[in-house]
A and B are shown apart, each in its own frame.
Chain A
């Protein structure tokens, strides 16, 4: 009993953020996820230093060579090093994952805040539009947007960001509805604070934890979505490397060069798994009631 009491006092003294961090590092799966994420970020940032070859350099004397000491992951149909392309492909995937989630957050959170805080007809209207966006399955909407915007990595990121936005609107609105009836928000209103200050200073900081969790999980979804769009030819355009477009090419050479299909897929799987594990860990760490 004393030990429990002293433990909770200790947690309270450390502050909620440090307590959450402490719970996060106790979860092996979340730590594994964080380590893999850091690894991919480091690989993407240091690509020119760690890549054994130029990812665009062709070598017609080394076309579709199996993995060897010279080319650890083998070479592709025009002699480019698969390892170098997987390393540089991490840039496109992580960039797309982060930027599209930033777009979804940047648009979704303000709309959700306004919807939840204002209520009445504004809430009704915004929610019907959000329902309409949620009714279009994520990838179908992203494909349609990318089709009309034109195929490029930037447009793919915009398309994924807009398609992911409704989830953030819904989440922000739900959290705002719960927080806006708290005593401290009522007190801020009673003191005559303008609505913008109440939303930005009193509501937003208190709804950040679930948004952080959703953002981490959404990065995983966005990485798969970018790979899917690039696989369909609507994302990163050749010859720039991307895991999805590498798989698109690889499917034409399955019998001759199976390694071309293996490594980009492993990279997508590991990156998505890492963000999923980190997101699950964050959710458990930020909400201690969850097991």
Chain B
């Protein structure tokens, strides 16, 4: 097991290396002198000089990259121009908000997606199956920022049940925190629920037609036991892998959801940074997101390894 984990971690090293080259390479897309663009609209000569020195702009690309990655490996992702804070500290400040949003969204997606997938497979070809498939198509085709706007219109403007925007930290008031986060989390989890539902259905259909399930039925076990005890455990194995990967996608979807609901998280940070031309923050957010995503991949592989007895043996 340890050998598997070490091998998987070693494969991640070149991936993170290339991710860092891509992210650093983004700077090359800036037209003209990067220091001018990085200095923002004020173009303060001191700031320009700072960036020339900071990013070693008189050096060739590979040398500049080595300086940058050395700083990044020491936790220095640069300085935010707008917030006048180290990018690393800024990211750490915003990340918990997005992780809470993503975590609740993921929970909602699991609570909708897995039961809907099981029902759809067990009632294959029925009206329930049809309805679940329509739900999945709806989830995959609806832009989450539009769903957010429509829910604000219905739940906040018309019914007045929940606040339309804003965020209260859980440490301040847990009740208010849940009231502000439940609607964005539902919006974010909607598409993931559709993906999980489709995969659960597909895995369940495969398992339900297998020999050991036929044997379990032949032994006279109730359908409930066959579905929940014999089929679901095996059907959920591929869903576990998918779930970890989808959690990474939630971080991406959070950019739009946080924008619609004005939640001060990781997604809003990158959008604000784009408009403030705070490129160090943009690079920092992409680097952290990609690293989280790579480690979620490893976690997914490891979880798959743990729950699959054939792989363990």
Contacts and interface: CB of A to CB of B under 8 A. Distances in A.
A288 B136 CA distance: 23
A268 B150 CA distance: 14
Nearest to A265: B146
Nearest to A136: B290
A143 interface: yes
Contact of B275 (A132, A233, A261, A273): A233
Interface in B109-150: 137, 140-143, 145-146, 149-150
A135 B149 CA distance: 29
Contacts of A231: 143, 145, 256, 259
Nearest to B26: A148
A180 to B, nearest CB: 24
A231 B146 CA distance: 10
A132 B15 contact: yes
Interface string B243-269: 000001101110110011000000000
Interface string A125-169: 000110111011111110111111110000000000000000000
A88 B289 CA distance: 35
A131 B19 CA distance: 9
A150 B21 CA distance: 20
Interface stretch (A62-70, A109-117, A246-254): A246-254
Nearest to A267: B146
Interface residues of A, number: 44
B157 A228 contact: no
B196 interface: no
19 contacts: A128-B14, A129-B18, A132-B18, A136-B22, A137-B290, A139-B253, A140-B255, A141-B286, A143-B271, A143-B274, A148-B30, A228-B145, A231-B256, A247-B146, A254-B152, A254-B153, A269-B142, A273-B137, A277-B137
A206 B21 CA distance: 34
A255 interface: yes
Contacts of A140: 251-252, 255, 270, 285-286, 289-290
A128 B30 contact: no
Contacts of A268: 143, 146
Contacts of A52: none
B143 A272 contact: yes
Given A128-B14, A128-B18, A265-B150, A148 B145 contact: no
Given A129-B18, A132-B15, 4 more contacts: A131-B18, A135-B290, A148-B30, A232-B259
B149 A228 contact: no
Interface of B: 14-19, 21-23, 26-27, 29-31, 137, 140-143, 145-146, 149-150, 152-153, 157, 164, 248-249, 251-253, 255-256, 259-260, 270-271, 273-275, 279, 282-283, 285-286, 289-290, 293-294, 297
A219 interface: no
Interface in A231-269: 231-234, 247, 250-251, 254-255, 258, 261-262, 264-265, 268-269
Contact of B157 (A141, A247, A255, A269): A255
Please classify the interface of chain B as helix (H, G, I), strand (E, B), loop, or mixed, using the class held by over half of its residues. Answer: helix
A216 to B, nearest CB: 13
A29 to B, nearest CB: 9
Interface string A32-45: 00000000000000
B139 to A, nearest CB: 11
A227 B283 CA distance: 23
A220 interface: yes
A132 B16 CA distance: 7
Contact of B256 (A137, A150, A232, A250): A232
A197 to B, nearest CB: 32
B203 to A, nearest CB: 15
A166 B312 CA distance: 31
A269 B146 contact: yes
A139 B271 contact: no
A30 interface: no
A261 B154 CA distance: 12
Contacts of B285: 140
A269 B147 CA distance: 10
Given A137-B289, A143-B270, A149-B29, A220 B22 contact: no
Nearest to A280: B137
A175 interface: no
B293 A137 contact: yes
Contacts of B23: 136, 144
Contacts of B164: 254
A255 B19 CA distance: 43
A276 interface: yes
Contacts of A258: 153, 157
Which of A140, A231, A247 has the most chain B CB atoms closer than 10 A to its own CB?
A140
A131 B142 CA distance: 28
Contact of A139 (B137, B140, B255): B255
B255 A143 contact: yes
A92 interface: no
A218 interface: no
In the A-B complex, the 8 residue pairs with the smallest Cβ-Cβ separation, listed nearest first, are A132-B18, A137-B252, A265-B146, A273-B141, A147-B274, A148-B29, A272-B141, A132-B19
Contacts of B141: 220, 269, 272-273, 276
B258 to A, nearest CB: 11
A82 interface: no
A260 B217 CA distance: 55
Nearest to A129: B18
A261 B289 CA distance: 30
Contacts of B143: 224, 227-228, 231, 265, 268-269, 272
